[in-house]
Amino acid sequence: MSHPDPHRAVTAVATILHPAERARVDAAGDGVYHTLHRHTVDEVAHDLRSRRVRAILLSVARCGPLECPHIARLVREFPRVPAIALLSRIEPATPQAVLSLGQCGIREIVDVREGAGWGELRNALADEKCDDIIRLALGALSLDLIGVPDDCWRFFDALFRAPSTCPSVRLLAEGLGVLPSTLMSRFFRARLPAPKRYLAYARLTHAARAFENPGLSIANVANQLEYSSPQSFCRHVRTLIGMSALEFRARYDGEGMLQRFREELVLPFVEKLRRFYPLSNGTRWSGVLRSLT
């Protein structure tokens, strides 16, 4: 029996588009991203503060001189959220609009006047491209964990590919097709840190990356990661790493928290992890598991 994979979340993209562009952008993103069509930069900023938005898509046709100061502020406050310009037609004002967007800090433009451009847009907004902390984490871990069993790698892969809102080992285990009690028991018997700790550190890595956007407050990040309250998030940080949320924000960026994850939870246990089967009962059953997924 195969299990659905809830860990590969569809990217949310906030847009300011010409009405004629919206349906084509929606169609290009089927299964890869879903759009939050907005009319103003302030509405996009509200989305960035209140939910997990992985990219911003701005139509060249909608970005006139009046919008540019607001767009520049948006790019400045959310530097870790890729902002992409969409070019679907050429008008007299287009060259100046493109130049203005570049001056606002937008470095990528996708030309969809020909069919191949829609595939380029789809690729540009793919989940892994927009959430670079996932790519960085899995790249580092793939080197740290050379030689681990496949289902051990699946656990670490899921930690970072899972929506950062995945708050519990129970939900993580269900997505991996194993009972939560079984998962926890296997970590305990292998004398490894608890899966709850791995998950908590992975979520804090996402939080640290989010804090690299000056436009996000502690309350915004706590809400995006679905903590019950900002106070709950602050207690979580204090309990795990012994500092306030403000101290955490000042001390760690995403890569710094990822390094702490590796130093505390991975590198000291590499030899154990190379013999560890968290999702199956050993080598014989690991092969069966791969054939069923």
Residue 111 burial by CB count (10 A; 0-12/13-18/19+): exposed, middle or buried? middle
Question: Which superfamily does 132-292 belong to?
Answer: Homeodomain-like (1.10.10.60)
Q: Confirm if 166 and 202 have CB atoms less than 8 A apart.
A: no
CA-derived radius of gyration, the chain: 21
Task: Check residue 54 and give its pLDDT.
Answer: 86
Task: Check residue 161 and give its pLDDT.
Answer: 81
Task: Check residue 127 and give its pLDDT.
Answer: 53
Task: Check residue 165 and give its pLDDT.
Answer: 62
Domain pair 11-130 / 132-292, same fold: no
Q: Which residues, given as ranges, of the chain have pLDDT below 50?
A: 1-8, 128, 283-293
Would you kindly state where each structural domain of the chain is located, as residue ranges?
11-130, 132-292
Task: Check residue 133 and give its pLDDT.
Answer: 87
Q: Which tens digits make up the pLDDT trace of 245-266?
A: 999 999 999 999 999 999 999 9
Indicate the pTM of the whole model: 0.78
Provide DSSP, 126-182: -HHHH-HHHHHHHHHHHHHTTT--HHHHHHHHHHHHS-TT---HHHHHHHHTS-HHH
Task: Check residue 49 and give its pLDDT.
Answer: 93
Task: Check residue 3 and give its pLDDT.
Answer: 39
| CATH class of the domain defined by 11-130 | alpha beta
Task: Check residue 286 and give its pLDDT.
Answer: 41
Task: Check residue 164 and give its pLDDT.
Answer: 63
Task: Check residue 293 and give its pLDDT.
Answer: 41
